[in-house]
Structure 1
């Protein structure tokens, strides 16, 4: 876990109650752990149904949270009750899978739009000092190419969401600004780039979370899947660095009303990420698969504002982060979900084809 104890800004979190919606997920649980290390009392609100397999123990939510509430961010009475107890809020709850949001835009709307509005209503009636909203680099879409190189995304450029998930984040960003500007509750927005790091596990039928998908494929002797040949560019930022930036956004004066990218500023192709993982597994192979709908070409973050406003820089390189993940996976093989190694069910068509072969 990142060392958060030496930053004097975090002293104001000592003894403070911080509500973390979505605190049972990968990023939320790392935020909760760092809040606890800073002396805060994290309250977690989470449904714990984002995965079809257990992750609550894997993410060690109960170990670090002062209190865990099993509930939905759309439950007005529950959210009001928690907001009244909070000094700060991190809103990380979301239907956060791009592919799942594309399949079920109704669920994406209910969680990411309606749920955000319920929380903002609750915060408006409470004494919350600051809310940090977790957004995504997906709001930039494909961005604008810089010469022959990959896109570099700056916070002041036009937003161009190309997926349902990104569209919900754009709406929520605007709503946070509209409803909290000029009130007694400050706000800040953090746009995450591609998050990875132990103990991340994949979700079925998803093209997100590429490091666990690739590493678990190589670990179990399966080919590493490269959607569209792996030409897309990503800015990979370790979950511990992501969490540290988010916690700093809660307490940094210059972040009031501001939006910052949380990324490394380093553009890496999906194929290069796969090759870094393959280097840890002798005989690892690749397979090219179609490009999923809503998958952006990608790019990297302009990180100048994060450095200037937060005094934050990533501390874990991609090579080191992947080495950490692979080492964790090798000593934690039980993290590979059962569905990952279960062959897909045969349909009548595939059964007939198999019999005819």
Structure 2
């Protein structure tokens, strides 16, 4: 299997790359390193099945170069991912997450049907002189598109409510992906992992809450929690997330679908701080920078993923936190 992972040098992307290489797939990573780092993919550099290309999904000339190769599956993870940043700078998020996704869709369409292919009713008429090759797109969306839930888990039919340009850009990109499936018969799936954490996640202010809390505890620094801390998150360990992403690419059963991944357990940020910190450090509640972007309750219903591809999480929250702690302790991030 020949695969492309956009954003493959990022936190989740490097784990998807690792899982694909473990399956003996060939992997090309395209990343502009705005979120990812070369350190994340250092261990793959001598693998003959691995190739890194530095470049941006908004650069059509670079995409022409990348797509000289033919891919069986395109895992599209490249994006601007910070909710708060999207409020301060919506243009960057829109162009990366929506327009960038459109560019990837177009390259996939050209690869599968050619630039001169055309639809005749519900069928394609291809130009025999064009070198076409079938492919599939796995689009990484987010749970941050959902409206707040009550006690029940959020299924894929739960209402969406974009409360930030990040959520709005992802919904727009989702709709484009599904439109290419419906209009062009381009195999595609939209996946919505819930809040993912784990090894290789950044531990600074731009990182995830679990990594930030652990790093602060290890340094004896205070923890700041935005707002009341009663907002809940369904925290998915990154290895479980990577398995879900990869399996969504391998399975035809999810084509044309939106599929969630999470644990079915939500925890308040206050509870999370207690699990990680106990009474070791001081916890402060501070004013939320952009409270309008907050979703107060996120809890996943992953029954669709379990039914269609047999996926379910293997790690408990406590197991994932412990593995993350050991990784942070063993890296130079401990500073």
8 Å contact from structure 1 (residues 235, 266) kept in 2 = yes
Equivalent residues in 2 for 1:145-224 (5 A)?
145=150, 149=151, 152-204=153-205, 206=206, 209-224=208-223
Is the partner of 1:185 in helix, strand or coil? coil
Give deviations 1:292-331, integer Å, cap 9, x for gaps: 4212112211111011011000011100111111122222
Q: Does 1:136 align with 2:142?
A: yes
Aligned to 1:351: none
Aligned to 1:352: none
| Shift of residue 229, structure 1, vs aligned partner | 2.9
Runs (4 or more) in structure 1 with deviation over 3 Å come to 58-65
Root-mean-square deviation (CA), in Å? Answer: 1.8
Structure 2 Cα separation of the partners of residues 73 and 129 of structure 1: 18
Give deviations 1:328-349, integer Å, cap 9, x for gaps: 22222x1146xxxxxxxxxxxx
Provide structure 2 residue ranges, at least 5 long, that are not aligned to the other structure: 112-132
Equivalent residues in 2 for 1:310-349 (5 A)?
310-332=309-331, 334-336=332-334
Distance change in 2, residues 1:252/1:295 (3 Å): same
Aligned to 2:38: 56
Is the partner of 1:152 in helix, strand or coil? coil
Equivalent residues in 2 for 1:248-267 (5 A)?
248-267=247-266
Aligned to 1:226: 225
Aligned to 2:10: 25
Aligned to 2:302: 303
| Shift of residue 117, structure 1, vs aligned partner | 1.0
Is the partner of 1:169 in helix, strand or coil? helix
8 Å contact from structure 2 (residues 197, 208) kept in 1 = yes
Structure 1 Cα separation of the partners of residues 204 and 141 of structure 2: 20
How many residue pairs get matched?
Answer: 309
8 Å contact from structure 1 (residues 29, 60) kept in 2 = no
| Shift of residue 188, structure 1, vs aligned partner | 0.8
Is the partner of 2:141 in helix, strand or coil? strand
Aligned to 1:118: 103
Distance change in 2, residues 1:223/1:59 (3 Å): farther
Scaled by the length of structure 1, the TM-score of the pair is: 0.82
8 Å contact from structure 1 (residues 47, 70) kept in 2 = yes
Q: Does 1:81 align with 2:65?
A: yes
Is the partner of 2:228 in helix, strand or coil? helix
Provide structure 1 residue ranges, at least 5 long, that are not aligned to the other structure: 1-15, 338-357
| Shift of residue 182, structure 1, vs aligned partner | 4.8
| Shift of residue 59, structure 1, vs aligned partner | 4.7
Structure 2 Cα separation of the partners of residues 59 and 296 of structure 1: 32
Aligned to 2:124: none
Structure 2 Cα separation of the partners of residues 264 and 154 of structure 1: 12
Scaled by the length of structure 2, the TM-score of the pair is: 0.87
Is the partner of 2:299 in helix, strand or coil? strand
Structure 1 Cα separation of the partners of residues 157 and 248 of structure 2: 18
8 Å contact from structure 1 (residues 59, 199) kept in 2 = no
Distance change in 2, residues 1:191/1:213 (3 Å): same
Distance change in 2, residues 1:75/1:95 (3 Å): same
2:286 to 280, 285, 289: 289
Is the partner of 1:156 in helix, strand or coil? coil
8 Å contact from structure 2 (residues 11, 40) kept in 1 = no
Distance change in 2, residues 1:128/1:83 (3 Å): farther
Structure 2 Cα separation of the partners of residues 241 and 83 of structure 1: 29
Distance change in 2, residues 1:255/1:32 (3 Å): same
8 Å contact from structure 2 (residues 259, 304) kept in 1 = yes
8 Å contact from structure 1 (residues 181, 187) kept in 2 = no
Aligned to 1:71: 55
